[in-house]
């Protein structure tokens, strides 16, 4: 017997309709690419998304057409999130930090019909557009006064495009399984692969993001979204915020510590979301300007942090500086992205700070909607005992079932598990602790050393800004850890001092065979340490040293 409830499709357009009707006045504040701070609202975003939808229809964009963006977190990019998906077209958010050939590959692979770009990316567009035959038009996300001189045909001005269009749009009743957003994984090896989100998946994910034990986004919040709109839907924040009418603060291209500090202060942010590197930049700014800064005007309640492991030192600094709780999250582009969140359980409430930081350092417990489990290399499920280390697999309604155009072949096993490529433990309470990416783990004489744990321990040193631990060839143990350390400006940490520091924090046999001070560490386009290039550079380092 069927239930007698309405079969309303779960569509992203329902979010902007809801926001316009119920939270029209809630603010959207953005750092524009042109310079000034722009003040908009959910009502304004809804009206302009409707105008955009009208313009796209007029340009002949149809359901399923891909529309690419090369853009920062700005109100205009947010309008595209709703205007493009609302008409059933697919928003392809491109990471502008990737190498030019990778961007070209993605635009070609996605067969994008239009490319909307921030004027700061004019050079990329000028280099690529002539090569892309599928592109029917380019749209500069600016007004007439700031139009770049590209010298290409088919360059439209966003504000001109919207002008004259009706500010209401009758959003079509699409199939909830229709594609809505396309986001390519950064692809540390091989070509990037496209994750194609359905409306249904992202809508269900928004309920999870907004929930009290999720990201707990509410209409009382003012959230600084540093995580890019081009990376895994900015962790679903645009949709969760529209659902509840939260104020959003979008930092544009200015991601330095000073700019973020100023936005968080003036916009009275209650939460901020970003990867650990961004927050180290913030504290670097605070440390340099301590005496001149007024921290009393902050109302920061929590930091949403993921993308790579949040070191304990960061958790502690947010607590001590702002009284803010660092909510550690783990997920991936393929999981929309929220999968586990580091919320506390009732039994943790009485813990002292240090013991609480231990819990917060873990990657968190699965949210409803994502099942997690660990498996040994033979595919046997491993226990949730906090000790067994295995390959982390996930499944659920917002986990990918395969990549765009079948790239990478079949990605699910017979029981629908998706192998994340991460290696983890899960404890009896369900807390996942990531020990490594499968390919980053350091295999010393058959035993595994967690590069994440070594790095987290190293950045606990007050003079260290960043650290990377990699496994390099060793004549006896096959692989041994090598630690690369980037110190804070003007600071030096000698090898022995670092080893002494680590000796209190990790097992003796985990201690790196060597410690090298470096000026810079390489990062991928999503801000993670690029260990592939480090491993290449230092592959024979210990072998050569042994031969000397
Ligand atoms: P991406 O698809 O670019 O978002 O990358 C996803 C990958 O980032 C995951 O598979 C993890 O390896 C890593 N990652 C994400 N969140 C965390 C976290 N909290 N701690 C450690 N690694 C993380």
pLDDT at 379: 95
pLDDT at 447: 82
Q: Answer yes or no: are the C-beta atoms of 81 and 107 closer than 8 Å.
A: no
**Residues 271/231/335/192 CA torsion (nearest 10 deg):** -160
The tokens 């631990």 sit on which residue? 469
C-beta of 306 in contact with ligand 1 (< 6 A): yes
C-beta of 432 in contact with ligand 1 (< 6 A): no
Q: Answer yes or no: are the C-beta atoms of 261 and 251 closer than 8 Å.
A: no
Nearest to 531 by CA among 478, 476, 477, 472: 472
Sheet holding 418-426, edge to edge: 371-375, 390-395, 418-426, 432-437
Element (H, E) at 340: strand 338-341
3 state DSSP class of 528: coil
Marked catalytic residue, from 439, 443, 536, 545: 443
Percent of the chain residues past pLDDT 70, beyond the cut: 99
Global pTM reads 0.92
CB atoms within 10 A of CB 438: 14
Q: For ligand 1, what atom is nearest to the CA of residue 434?
A: 21
Nearest protein Cα to ligand 1, atom 7: 332
Interval 500-536: pLDDT, tens = 999 999 889 899 999 999 999 998 888 888 898 899 9
> Could you give the angle at the alpha carbon of 260 between the alpha carbons of 254 and 266, nearest 5°?
120
In DSSP terms, 363 is beta-bridged to: none
331 CA to centre of ligand 1 in angstroms:
6
**Which domains occur in the chain, in start order?**
371-437 (2.30.38.10), 442-547 (3.30.300.30)
Q: For ligand 1, what atom is nearest to the CA of residue 420?
A: 10
Q: How far apart are CA 266 and CA 252, in angstroms?
A: 16
Please confirm whether the linkage preceding 337 is cis (ω < 30° from 0). yes
Whether 443 is catalytic is yes
Mutate to test the pocket of ligand 1, among 392, 434, 469 (most ligand atoms within 8 A of CB): 434
In DSSP terms, 481 is beta-bridged to: 471
Q: Answer yes or no: are the C-beta atoms of 124 and 104 closer than 8 Å.
A: no
391 CA to centre of ligand 1 in angstroms:
14
Lowest mean pLDDT among 60-74, 182-196, 353-367, 428-442: 182-196
Higher local confidence (pLDDT), 146 or 280: 146
CB atoms within 10 A of CB 354: 9
25 CA to centre of ligand 1 in angstroms:
35
293 CA to centre of ligand 1 in angstroms:
33
pLDDT at 548: 79
């Amino acid at each position: 017997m069927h239930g007698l409830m309405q079969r309303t499709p779960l569509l992203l357009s329902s979010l902007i309709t809801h926001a316009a009707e119920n939270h029209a006045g809630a603010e959207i504040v953005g750092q524009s690419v042109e310079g000034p701070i722009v003040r908009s609202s959910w009502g304004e975003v809804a009206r302009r998304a409707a105008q955009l939808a009208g313009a796209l229809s007029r340009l002949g964009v149809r359901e399923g057409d891909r529309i690419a963006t090369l853009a920062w977190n700005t109100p205009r990019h947010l309008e595209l999130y709703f205007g493009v998906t609302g008409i059933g077209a697919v928003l392809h958010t491109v990471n502008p930090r990737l190498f030019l050939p990778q961007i070209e590959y993605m635009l070609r692979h996605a067969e994008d019909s239009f490319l909307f770009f921030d004027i700061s990316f004019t050079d990329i567009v000028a280099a690529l557009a002539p090569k892309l035959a599928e592109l029917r038009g380019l749209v500069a996300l600016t007004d007439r006064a700031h139009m770049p001189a590209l010298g290409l045909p088919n360059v439209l001005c966003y504000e001109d495009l919207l002008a004259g269009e009706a500010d209401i749009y009758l959003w079509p009743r699409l199939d909830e399984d229709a594609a809505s957003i396309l986001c390519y994984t950064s692809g540390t090896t091989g070509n990037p692969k496209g994750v194609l989100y359905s409306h249904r998946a992202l809508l269900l994910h928004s309920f999870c993001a907004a929930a009290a034990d999720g990201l707990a986004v509410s209409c009382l919040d003012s959230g600084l979204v540093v995580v890019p709109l081009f990376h895994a839907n900015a962790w679903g924040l645009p949709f969760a915020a529209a659902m509840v009418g939260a104020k959003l603060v979008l930092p544009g291209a200015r991601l330095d510590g000073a700019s973020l500090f100023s936005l968080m202060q003036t916009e009275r942010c209650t939460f901020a979301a970003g990867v650990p590197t961004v927050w180290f930049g913030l504290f670097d700014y605070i440390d340099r300007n301590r005496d001149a800064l007024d921290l009393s005007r902050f109302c920061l309640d929590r930091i949403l942090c993921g993308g790579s492991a949040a070191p304990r030192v960061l958790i502690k600094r947010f607590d001590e500086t702002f009284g803010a709780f660092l909510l550690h999250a783990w997920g991936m582009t393929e999981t929309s992205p929220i999968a586990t969140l580091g919320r506390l359980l009732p039994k943790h409430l009485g813990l002292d700070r240090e013991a609480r930081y231990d819990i917060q350092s873990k990657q968190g417990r699965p949210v409803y909607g994502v099942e997690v489990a660990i498996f040994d290399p033979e595919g046997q499920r491993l226990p949730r005992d906090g000790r067994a280390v295995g390959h982390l697999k996930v499944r659920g309604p917002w986990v990918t079932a395969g990549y765009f155009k079948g790239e990478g072949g079949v990605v699910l096993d017979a029981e629908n598990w998706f192998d994340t490529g991460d290696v983890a433990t899960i404890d009896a309470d369900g807390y996942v602790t990531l020990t490594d990416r499968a390919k980053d783990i350091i295999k010393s004489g058959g035993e595994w050393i967690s590069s994440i744990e070594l790095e987290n321990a190293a950045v606990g040193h007050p003079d260290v800004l960043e650290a990377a631990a990699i496994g390099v060839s060793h004549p006896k143990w096959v692989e041994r850890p090598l630690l690369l350390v980037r110190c804070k400006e003007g600071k030096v940490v000698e090898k022995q001092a670092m080893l002494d520091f680590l000796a209190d924090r990790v097992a003796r046999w985990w201690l790196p065979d060597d410690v090298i001070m470096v000026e810079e560490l390489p990062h991928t386009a999503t801000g993670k340490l690029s260990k592939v290039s480090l491993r290449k550079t230092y592959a024979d380092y210990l072998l050569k040293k042994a031969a000397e």
